[in-house]
Amino acid sequence: MTNANEIRLYRREGHYIPRVAAVHDLCGYGKCSLAVAIPVLSAAGCDVCPVPTSLFSANTKFPVFHMHDTTDMLEPYLDAWVQEGVELDAVYSGFLGSAGQVGAIQRLYREHPRALRVVDPVMGDEGAKYPTYTDEMCEAMGALVDGADLLTPNLTEASILTGIPYQGHDVSDDFVRQNLEALVGMGAKAVVLKGVIRGDGLIRNYVCGGDLDVCEVKAELLPYMLHGTGDLYASSLLAAVMCGRSLLEATEFAGELVRKAMVVTRYQPDFEMRGVNFETVLGDVCTLLKG
């Protein structure tokens, strides 16, 4: 078996700027999705190419929001990319607007077979699906697990994907391993399972893969939850990966960046609704470029 500190999913060379397709929704108010992915990956020296899966007036934490599903525009959108000869080094997908959008992501995989496939299966939290997600969409999301180079579910999303009943945040190592083995069995090459909390002031994330030992990464647990931390975690994890960091280093970096951003957010007005503020910690992402 191989340790996660020995695995590098991407090797960066010279002054080359890798190009990442970010297949996420765009939210006008509230920190999440493309509003997080674009600046974080850009700070890591990546050329971010957005593929908007839906448009939101505000994040779904707010009681009132407007959503526009962009499914109908994705085919001509990607057709234009083909005509322009766009080349990709990674395809990073998150929140989807409809089950049909899985096909657009799979199209990107076919057209860019050497691109890294990073899937953040954004479907729910705290044991429940997000309000815009249907059972059909959750089932469709499962099709992206097979062949994913990196999959980053929380415990709720792992339950939805595997069918293993959700048991909350305080779960045993055996339960974690059961979920990881099920996700790898579905075809994911590497998995980071997020959000195990056991009442000792720490949050645990677990890394595993087909030939990887299960590795536990701990971080300080703050006494409040924020919208958008999953997007920040996955984006900063990918930022570290695209800068050539090992899978273990990237997991550690993402956990610490989210913690720092949450500390800053605590002092902002209406912070519990608006989502995580990452702006003042983007300098930490830039340091990834220093080798």
The CA distances from residue 31 to 26, 167, 226, 234, 275, in Å, are 10, 28, 10, 14, 5
Tokens 């080798």 sit on residue: 291
The total of other beta-carbon atoms located within 10 Å of residue 238's CB is 28
What does each of the 291 residues of the chain score in pLDDT, given as a tens digit? 778 888 899 999 999 999 999 999 999 999 999 999 999 999 999 999 999 999 999 988 899 999 999 999 999 999 999 999 999 999 999 999 999 999 999 999 999 999 999 999 999 999 999 888 999 999 999 999 999 999 999 999 999 999 999 999 999 999 999 999 999 999 999 999 999 999 999 999 999 988 878 999 999 999 999 989 999 999 999 999 999 999 999 999 999 999 999 999 999 998 988 999 999 999 999 999 986
Q: Residue 236: what pLDDT?
A: 98
Q: Residue 3: what pLDDT?
A: 81
CA distance 222 to 230: 15
Q: Residue 235: what pLDDT?
A: 98
Q: Residue 61: what pLDDT?
A: 84
The CA distances from residue 248 to 145, 158, 284, 285, in Å, are 20, 20, 17, 16
Mind giving me the DSSP string for 26-90? EESSSB-THHHHHHHHHHTT-EEEEEEEEEESS-TTSSS--EEE-HHHHHHHHHHHHHHT---SE
Task: Delimit the domains of the chain by residue range.
Answer: 18-281
Altogether, the residues listed in the chain come to a count of 291
CA distance 218 to 184: 22
Strand, helix or coil at 116? strand
- What lies within 8 Å, CB to CB, of 263 at 6+ separation is 222
Query: Which amino acid does the sequence have at 290?
Result: K
Q: Tokens for 18?
A: 């890798």
Q: Residue 7: what pLDDT?
A: 87
- What lies within 8 Å, CB to CB, of 154 at 6+ separation is 125, 193, 194, 195, 230
Mind giving me the DSSP string for 177-189? HHHHHHHHHTT-S
The CA distances from residue 272 to 3, 62, 205, 220, 280, in Å, are 37, 10, 23, 19, 18
Closest of 237, 249, 234 to residue 291, by C-alpha: 249
* Residue 278 φ then ψ, to 5°: -110, -5
Homologous superfamily of the 18-281 domain (CATH): Ribokinase (3.40.1190.20)
Q: Residue 217: what pLDDT?
A: 96
Pairing relationship of beta strands 124-125 and 128-129 according to DSSP bridges: antiparallel
Q: Kindly provide the b/e burial profile for residues 69-101, where b requires at least 16 CB atoms within 10 angstroms of the residue's own CB.
A: bbbeebeeebeebeeeeeebbbbbbbbbbbbbb
pTM score? 0.96
Taking a C-beta distance cutoff of 8 angstroms, is the pair 61, 30 a contact? Answer: yes
